[in-house]
Amino acid sequence: MLEPMMYEGGVYKHNLLVELVEDLGGYILQKNIMQTEVIMIMLVPMKDTHLVEDMTKMLLGELTRAPLSGAEIAVVAPTLAYHHLPHLDCDLAEFLRRKGAKTNMVGLSRGVGSRICQINAYERDLINEHDLAVYIFGNFKHCIIESKPKLFEGIEIPIVVTGAPEIASDGVQNADVYVGNLGRVAHRMRKGDEMHAMDQMVAEVGKILDKLREDIGKDQQSVMPPRVKKEIEDQVPEIKQVLSPLPITLRLKGLKVKLDYDEFHEKIGEVSFVEGIKLKDIADIRRSNMKNFILVDIRPKSETGYVI
Amino acid sequence: MEEDEKIIVESPGEEVGAIIYKQVISDVLSDLALGRVIEKVRVYVDVTEPVFIFVGLRHAGLASVHIKDFADLETGEYGKHQVLIKLNKEAYIPQLLEKLWERYGRGNIIHEERTLVAVDTPDYMDEVDILSEMVIDEKAGEIDDRIVDSMLRIIPEGFRVRYHQMTKEYILFVASEDAIKQEWKDRAQAILDKLIDGVSSNA
């Protein structure tokens, strides 16, 4: 079992940690260097976490658990207007990222209003590419319960809804969980109860992701996504030219490769493993709705018959 | 006293929504530095209708700034067709030059000393009077813009059908998703009348 962890510390000698994690058979999922600071999200074999902790102490860094690592989460707002941004939406997305998730903000084109709100096919497909969707709604109970569930039509991934009023956690139709005390506000979320509500939201998201991982674990994936990421990085040099912060994004069921589909999907399919298996044999490679990227869905053992 | 509260949001059946909305309004007003411009705010929201009514009383605004408020004007030396503007305050120089350039052309404005602007014009006798009354900075107009901006930020985004009145004394906004009904306008008017009554009886 691999433990998701986040390292925050200085750039100086952080390579020692990278090498240690790789030597232990773990993976570096994300490395952001900001001037003299570095933030790394990594997967570490559970029985070796103490070694990583010792190294972190030596480097005077900080190590925290990042329970949402390896998941891609859609943060869905009715629109991207100043009614929702930057406060609340960005704050929530930031909070999810701090726990290791990769978030994408989705602003619907016609998500506003109660009677008039709607979602279109493209937006639906885009949201369905994620592992989980967090819908951010407003201050009125009637609106959240009666009108907004229209926006969940056709969404196949788990849905977490946030809003201001007190509603039972299963009180919103077709949503998995509702988290209260997170309504539409025009200031930065930093008061005690607001932070508490966001912690609660993250906890709920974590619970759902744990359940999803458990479900995936029942029928194991033919190969672990972080391993595919490593192989793509080694075998497709063009990925190094990609300027996105996370050229290969991990999803629970596979990964998203931020290269043009038409040009690179065959090359990605040809990525091979030492066992003599090619990626296209154990994964579906399809087009993403997001900027023509490549989506890789790894097939489970029940379909391929083996795990590498 | 309830009447003395600055912002009151009323929403039948949505107590939490009303409390949060009050916070939104006070955040938006303070973001746009309108806290002292708007005296009292009464909001009525009914999401089942749906309708959003906003009524606000305004403080008397700031007067416009004329050139004569911050400068002395006189005609130029004998034989020169000029108006001289001697500035007592430098704060308005950018707006002043902008207006002068627009009216007389850049070539006719001579601004060699910091506090002295000379305007070349053949009708200098008349222009002295016209210039002294010229409005340089219109605070009221800018505040109106900010108030409209704040309204658009406060009302729920989906409520795109709007009815409004804006005078120097008050602002009244009714917004909804559907066509505005007469009863909503009447309700807004009643809220406004009550607010004005309350203020005048206190005074």
Is A117 in the same domain as A190? yes
Contact A186 B20 (CB under 8 A): no
Tell me which of A82, A112, A140, A147 to substitute to probe the interface with B (most B C-beta atoms closer than 10 Å). A140
- Is the pLDDT assigned to residue B1 strictly greater than 60? no
Residue A185's pLDDT is 86
Residue A3's pLDDT is 86
**Angstrom distance (rounded) from CA B67 to CA B92:** 9
ipTM associated with this complex: 0.79
- Is the pLDDT assigned to residue A190 strictly greater than 90? no
- Is the pLDDT assigned to residue B116 strictly greater than 70? yes
A163, A198, A216 - which closes a domain:
A216
Work out the minimum CA distance from B167 to partner chain A, whole angstroms. 26
Contacts of A186 in chain B (CB under 8 A): 23-24, 27-28, 31, 153
Q: pLDDT tens, A158-187?
A: 999 999 888 888 888 899 999 988 888 888
Residue B122's pLDDT is 87
Contact A141 B17 (CB under 8 A): yes
Is A27 in the same domain as A156? no
The CATH number of the domain holding residue A109 is 3.40.50.2300
Q: pLDDT tens, A236-292?
A: 999 999 998 889 999 988 999 999 999 999 999 999 999 999 999 999 999 999 999
**Angstrom distance (rounded) from CA A255 to CA A236:** 15
pTM: 0.83
Is A46 in the same domain as A28? yes
Contacts of A140 in chain B (CB under 8 A): 11, 14, 17, 45, 47
Tell me which of A139, A148, A179, A184 to substitute to probe the interface with B (most B C-beta atoms closer than 10 Å). A139
Which residue is associated with the tokens 């658990």?
Answer: A65
Nearest chain A residue (CA) to B149? A82
Contact A187 B160 (CB under 8 A): no
Is A282 in the same domain as A206? no
Is A99 in the same domain as A162? yes
Is A98 in the same domain as A187? yes
Q: Are A45 and A3 within 8 A, CB to CB?
A: yes
What are the residues whose beta carbons fall under 8 Å from the beta carbon of A219, sequence distance 6 or more? A300, A301, A302
Contact B27 A187 (CB under 8 A): yes
Burial class (CB in 10 A: 0-12, 13-18, 19+), B145: exposed
The CATH number of the domain holding residue A35 is 3.30.70.260
Is A264 in the same domain as A202? no
Contact B17 A140 (CB under 8 A): yes
Contact B13 A141 (CB under 8 A): yes
Considering its fold, how many domains does chain A have in total?
A: 3
A188 in contact with chain B, both atoms CB, cutoff 8 A: no
- Mean pLDDT score of chain A, rounded to an integer? 91
Is A57 in the same domain as A83? no
Contacts of B14 in chain A (CB under 8 A): 139-142, 165
Is A76 in the same domain as A47? no
Mean pLDDT of A85-92: 87
What domain range includes position A271?
225-304
Nearest chain A residue (CA) to B158? A113
Q: Are B72 and B88 within 8 A, CB to CB?
A: yes
Nearest chain A residue (CA) to B14? A140
Is A149 in the same domain as A284? no
Phi/psi of residue A101, each to 5°? -80, 160
DSSP H or E run through B116: strand B116-120
Sorting pLDDT into bands at 50, 70 and 90, what band is B202? low
Mean pLDDT of A83-104: 88
A178, A197, A216 - which closes a domain:
A216
Is A181 in the same domain as A125? yes
Residue A76 β-bridge partners: A106, A135
Percent of chain B with pLDDT over 90: 28
The number of C-beta contacts closer than 8 angstroms across A and B is 74
A186, A216, A246 - which closes a domain:
A216
Is A207 in the same domain as A101? yes
